[in-house]
Structure 1
Amino acid sequence: MNSEKQEKQAARKAGFYIAVLVLAVAVVLSVALCIYAANKPSVPTGKDDTEIINPDDGKKDDNKQNEEPVVKPVLFNLPIEGSVAMAYSEVPVYNETLGRFAAHKAIDYKAESGTKVVAVYEGTVTEVTESVTKGVSVKIDHGNGLFTVYNSIEPGENIKVGTTVAAGDKIGIVSDTNRQEAKTGAHLHFETIENGKLIDPAKYFVAESK
């Protein structure tokens, strides 16, 4: 009887140890599988699934919307090759022809009759008129309320209302038909109008923005 009990106890112990061993092996295998799965190299698919975020994305469109249009500076060419006979002056100056003081809101360029007169800036001819005092005048619209007027000239045959000119294009020649400044001799009486007001043309002989 004692021997049977001992055999049964030994069998139980053996079964217990076997169960513990099996459990330990199972745990080891589970851990090994987890480690393998974690370190398993990925198979390349040929596509780059990585999303690259550009920090500037979203800013470019905003910058475009905030960009201000480029403003082209206005710079006049000289209308004629000649010296200045009288500068622009809002202070009254003496007019020898009229025998009185008056503002001189223009620049007079002294030149011989027949001297070429050119457009100081691109634009469109809006007026070709003739008066007893100023002779023949050509008015050019340069846009944005800016005009130039060339008094006492003989305009070219192609210079008519609607004619488009570029800076430096010939628009006529100097004449001596300006009777209100006859004692000055042949010259170009050059005016600049900005938003309906006569201004000093010298403003546009340096870079200015419209």
Structure 2
Amino acid sequence: MKKLVSLAPLRKLRPGRKALLVMGYLLVVGILLVAVTYNGIFTEPLTQAPADPGAAETGVEDDAGVANPPFNALDEEEEKEDEALTEEEAIAALALPDGPMLWPLEGEILIGHHEPYKVGSQWRAHAGLNLEASLEDEVLAAWPGIVEYVGNDSRLGWFLEIRHGGDYITKYANLKEEPYVIVGDEVDAGDLIGIVGDSARMGASEGAFLHFVVYQDQDTIDPVGVLSPH
């Protein structure tokens, strides 16, 4: 006859059903915590938060403290760049005019190109022509081109420069007032660009006259060689 063994000691070693549930719950929570921690350390966000569109429109500062220019300011800058490029392209596309230069006004030559004149005790060589004129005589563009510079100083008075094809530039100085054209204007030969004044202090001539200079490749040349017969 077999001897029966008591199972009471084994029942004491088995964990209760509640204990198993608690252990399973803790295990699941632990796994989730590990997964979240691992993902936060080793992964990066795929996208960044979009910038506030209101900041770009109003020019407010971003998170770094840098002011964002408004859209209209950016548009104005782009327009200025486009205008500058257009002007440069127009100047580069200038063709050498076919005919000779026109005289900017009808007047006798008071002093010619490279003629010597004395300032104090020093002799100098004159650049360009000084043409006899009366106050407010009209000054005309000698060749077609684009106005490249307008200025006013104590030596030349009001003056302007026009760029032509073939790397020619003409300068018109001793004007009475601000020229009738501005930088970037296109002019044709014979267009009115200003009137004669008497404010220049160059030493070679005094009073009302037109100081007219021609440059080619940035060097002064004798205007008589390119002007039409007087």
Q: Name 2:117's counterpart in structure 1.
A: 94
Deviations along 1:90-109, one digit per CA (max 9) or x if unpaired, are x6x123x5553101111100
- Letter of the 2:98 counterpart: P
CA deviation profile, 1:44-92 (whole Å, cap 9, x unmatched): xxxxxxxxxxxxxxxxxxxxxxxxxxx8534011111111111111x6x
Change (3 A) 1:194 1:164: same
Whether the 8 Å contact between 2:97 and 2:143 is mirrored in structure 1 is no
1:85 aligns with 2:110: yes
Structure 2 distance, partners of 1:140, 1:84, is 21
1:94 maps to amino acid = Y
> Is the CA contact 1:110–1:185 (under 8 Å) kept in the aligned structure 2?
no
Specify every segment of 5 or more residues in structure 2 that has no aligned partner in the other structure, as ranges: 1-95
Residue 114 of structure 1 corresponds to 136
Structure 1 residues 145 and 85: CA distance shift in structure 2, 3 A: same
Cα pair distance change 1:205/1:158, threshold 3 Å: closer
In the TM superposition, what whole-angstrom CA distance separates every residue of 1:96-137 from its partner, at most 9, and x where no partner exists? x55531011111001111110000010110000111111111
Residue 210 of structure 2 aligns to a residue in which SS?
Answer: strand
Q: What is the rounded CA distance, in whole Å, between the counterparts of 2:178 and 2:209 in structure 1?
A: 17
SS in 1 for 2:203: helix
| RMSD after superposition | 2.3
Structure 1 residue 201 and structure 2 residue 223: aligned? yes
In the alignment, the residues of structure 2 paired with residue 192 and residue 145 of structure 1 have an alpha-carbon distance, to the nearest angstrom, of 11
- 2:192 counterpart (170, 174, 180): 170
* TM-superposed deviation, 1:163: 0.8
What is the total number of aligned residue pairs between the two structures? 135
Give CA-to-partner distance per residue, 1:176-205, whole Å, 9 cap, x none: 011123753210010000001011111212
TM-score by length of 2: 0.54
Higher relative CO (Cα under 8 Å, sequence separation at least 6) belongs to: 1
Which of residues 178, 181, 202 in structure 2 aligns to 1:180?
Answer: 202
**Is this contact kept in 2: 1:146–1:192, CA < 8 A?**
yes
CA–CA separation in structure 1 for the residues paired with 2:147 and 2:221? 19
| Structure 2 counterpart of 1:189, one-letter code | H
